[in-house]
């Protein structure tokens, strides 16, 4: 699989969650194939217009790097939770909202909203691309600070 950058994955057909996680795959110790599969159902706000896929992709990388592997390891989970909260706050400060339908101004979980999104590439270019790139870069910085 060719190495692209953030939003470039969206240009070739990946969803927002896949694009973000693909950009973070190496950082998170995932193969491109694992990242593609893992993030597949999370585009378009989890296919329901909910939490932005760029956020989900970044948080998947966070969990892979900083998440707990033992349910009794509450300290590790609490550190990952704190980083997730920090990331979410930064995202909201930058973009104002976290839900796909609010960020786009359309609900892509409806047939009409999905058609409007696909008929108007400016949604991806002006809204999604910057969020995917920002989410990937911000999470890279946050994860680098954890090492």
Give the pLDDT mean for 103-111.
Answer: 95
> Could you give the CA distance from residue 131 to residue 147 in angstroms, rounded to a whole number?
25
Round to whole Å and give the CA distance between 25 and 139: 11
* pTM (two decimals): 0.94
Measured from the Cβ of residue 13, the count of other Cβ atoms closer than 10 Å reads 8
Longest C-alpha distance within the chain, in Å? 48
Per residue in 18-65, pLDDT (tens digit) is 999 999 999 999 999 999 999 999 999 999 999 999 999 999 999 999
The position carrying tokens 């909260």 is 85
3-state SS, residue 51: strand
Where helices occur in 40-128 by DSSP H, the ranges are 43-44, 53-66, 74-95, 100-104, 111-119, 122
Here the tokens at position 145 are: 């600070």
Task: Report the pLDDT averaged over residues 69-86.
Answer: 97
pLDDT band at residue 107 using 50, 70 and 90 as cut-offs: very high
Mean pLDDT (whole number) for 109-130: 95
Mean pLDDT on 93-122: 96
- pLDDT confidence tier of residue 147, bands split at 50, 70 and 90: confident
């Amino acid at each position: 699989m060719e190495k692209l950058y953030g939003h470039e994955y969206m240009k070739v057909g990946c969803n927002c969650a896949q694009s973000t996680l693909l950009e973070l795959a190496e950082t998170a110790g995932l193969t491109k194939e694992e990242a593609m599969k893992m993030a597949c159902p999370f585009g378009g706000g989890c296919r329901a217009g909910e939490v932005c896929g760029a956020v989900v992709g970044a948080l998947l990388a966070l969990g892979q790097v900083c998440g707990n592997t033992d349910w009794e390891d509450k300290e590790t989970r609490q550190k990952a939770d704190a980083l997730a909260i920090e990331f979410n706050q930064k995202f909201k400060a930058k973009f104002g909202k976290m839900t796909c339908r609010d960020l786009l101004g359309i609900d892509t979980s409806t047939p009409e909203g999905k058609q409007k999104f696909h008929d108007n590439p400016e949604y991806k270019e002006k809204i999604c691309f910057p969020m995917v790139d920002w989410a990937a870069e911000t999470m890279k910085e946050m994860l680098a600070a954890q090492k």
